[in-house]
């Protein structure tokens, strides 16, 4: 796995969480990246792993950047766009740093687990110790590199903690195939894996999910 990390990390602009996600994707697989931005992850996966990828992105300028990179991309809203695919169209569906902005996360993840064999989700860990510190000792809503918004301009409508997410997955009857927690700054491609007390020390949680029973 370490070698994979290294190879995925050669792209200078790539976020650390995306490098981790890239290391989880098998070569030659079919990938859907939701909220793919300018297509950094898909481009890297295509170049280094021969992945056949599609991105979904809302912003016209970012869609243009993706097509410049030779990627296939659809401009649109992720909750609408994911409805049109047949079951198990993709090997992996990736939802990075978007879950906290989704109105109906259970419904969305369920759709994703239908159109993909595996779903990879990353989200900012709200219970990082710095956030707790601000809440308890300063009495203020947390502001951090991962959660840089004020209450009046945040697009984030969900507060997610790593342990809460685990409980949610269990309750929904899904399976965690793989998980990791990382400590990084948003937009920084450096970071490290947090093994000890991740719910307290990690800035992001990354999970790979599957439905309980494998459909053959």
Partner 1 sequence: MSEYSARDADDVSVGIVEKKFYTFGGGVNQSLVLESGAKIGPVTVAYETYGQLSPAKDNAVLVLHALSGDCHVAGYYSKADTKPGWWENMVGPGKGIDTDRYFVICASILGSCGGTTGPSSTNPATGQPYGLDFPVVTVGDMVAVQRKLLDHLGVEKLLAVVGGSLGGMQALEWSLRYPDRVAGVIALATTMRHSALAIAFNEIARQAIMTDPNWNKGHYYGGPKPDTGLAVARMIGHVTYLSDEAMRRKFGRRLQGKEAFSFQFDIDFEVESYLRHQGNKFVARFDANSFLYVTKAADYFDLERRGGAGSAVEAFATARSRFLVVSFTSDWLYPTYQSKELVRALKKNGLNVSFCEIKADCGHDAFLIPNKRLSSLIGNFLEQTRDESRF
CA-only gyration radius of the chain, Å: 17
Residue 67 touches partner 1, criterion: CB under 8 A: yes
Task: For residue 181, report the phi and psi dihedrals to the nearest 5 degrees.
Answer: -125, 140
104/110 Cα distance (integer angstroms): 10
Binding part of the chain for partner 1, among 72-80, 104-112, 125-133, 144-152 by CB under 8 A, reads 72-80
Residue 72 touches partner 1, criterion: CB under 8 A: yes
Taking a C-beta distance cutoff of 8 angstroms, is the pair 135, 161 a contact? no
Alpha carbon 120 to chain centroid, angstroms: 6
Q: Closest distance between partner 1 and the C-beta of residue 70, in Å?
A: 4
Residue 59 touches partner 1, criterion: CB under 8 A: no
Binding part of the chain for partner 1, among 36-44, 78-86, 100-108, 195-203 by CB under 8 A, reads 78-86
Q: Kindly tell me which residue out of 4, 5, 7, 64 binds partner 1, with binding defined by CB under 8 A.
A: 64
Find the angle CA(201)-CA(119)-CA(38) to the nearest 5 degrees. Answer: 80
Residue 76 touches partner 1, criterion: CB under 8 A: yes
Task: For residue 53, report the phi and psi dihedrals to the nearest 5 degrees.
Answer: -120, 155
Residue 1 touches partner 1, criterion: CB under 8 A: no
Residues 5-44 close enough to bind partner 1 by CB under 8 A: none
189/57 Cα distance (integer angstroms): 22
Q: Kindly tell me which residue out of 73, 94, 99, 182 binds partner 1, with binding defined by CB under 8 A.
A: 73
Indicate the angle between helix axes 105-115 and 162-172, nearest 10 degrees: 60
Residues 84-143 close enough to bind partner 1 by CB under 8 A: 84-86, 89
Which residues of this chain interact with partner 1, rule CB under 8 A?
A: 54, 60, 63-64, 66-68, 70-76, 84-86, 89
């Amino acid at each position: 796995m370490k070698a994979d990390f290294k190879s995925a990390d050669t792209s200078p602009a790539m976020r650390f969480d995306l490098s981790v996600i890239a290391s989880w994707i098998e070569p030659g697989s079919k990938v859907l990246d939701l909220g793919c931005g300018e297509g950094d992850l898909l481009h890297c996966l295509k170049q280094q792993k021969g992945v056949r990828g599609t991105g979904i992105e809302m912003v016209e300028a970012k869609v243009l950047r993706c097509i410049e990179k030779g990627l296939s991309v659809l401009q649109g809203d992720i909750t609408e766009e994911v409805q049109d695919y047949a079951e198990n169209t993709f090997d992996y569906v990736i939802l990075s740093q978007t879950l906290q902005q989704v109105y109906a996360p259970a419904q969305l993840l369920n759709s994703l687990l239908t159109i993909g064999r595996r779903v990879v989700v990353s989200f900012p860990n709200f219970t990082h110790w710095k956030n707790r510190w601000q809440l308890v000792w300063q009495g203020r809503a947390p502001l951090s590199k991962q959660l840089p918004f004020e209450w009046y301009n945040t697009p984030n409508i969900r507060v997610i903690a790593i342990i809460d997410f685990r409980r949610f997955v269990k309750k929904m009857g899904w399976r965690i195939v793989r998980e990791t927690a990382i400590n990084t700054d948003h937009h920084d491609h450096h970071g490290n894996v947090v093994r000890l007390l991740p719910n307290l020390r990690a800035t992001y949680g990354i999970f790979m999910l599957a439905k309980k029973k494998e459909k053959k």
